[in-house]
Amino acid sequence: MELGNISQPEYSLALEEPGSSTPGLVQMAHGFLRLVQPNDLPIALHCLLFFLSQLLTYELGFLVCAATGLLFIILVPLVGCCFCCWRC
Parts of the chain with a pLDDT under 70: 1-3, 14-21, 40-50, 88
71 located within any domain: yes
pLDDT value at residue 75:
95
Query: HEC profile for 29-78?
Result: HHHHHHHHCCCCCCCCCCCHHHHHHHHHHHHHHHHHHHHHHHHHHHHHHH
Assigned domain for 66 exists: yes
Q: What pLDDT, on a 0 to 100 scale, did the predictor assign at position 49?
A: 62
Q: What is the pLDDT of residue 17?
A: 61
Other CB atoms within 10 A of residue 54 CB: 18
Asked if residue 55 is part of any domain, the answer here is yes
Determine, yes or no, domain membership for 76: yes
- At residue 88, the 3 state secondary structure works out as coil
Task: State which residues form the domain around 79.
Answer: 49-83
Question: 1 in a domain, yes or no?
Answer: no
How many separate domains does the chain show? 1
Q: What pLDDT is recorded for position 70?
A: 96
Residue 58 lies in a domain: yes
Does residue 23 belong to any structural domain of this protein? Answer: no
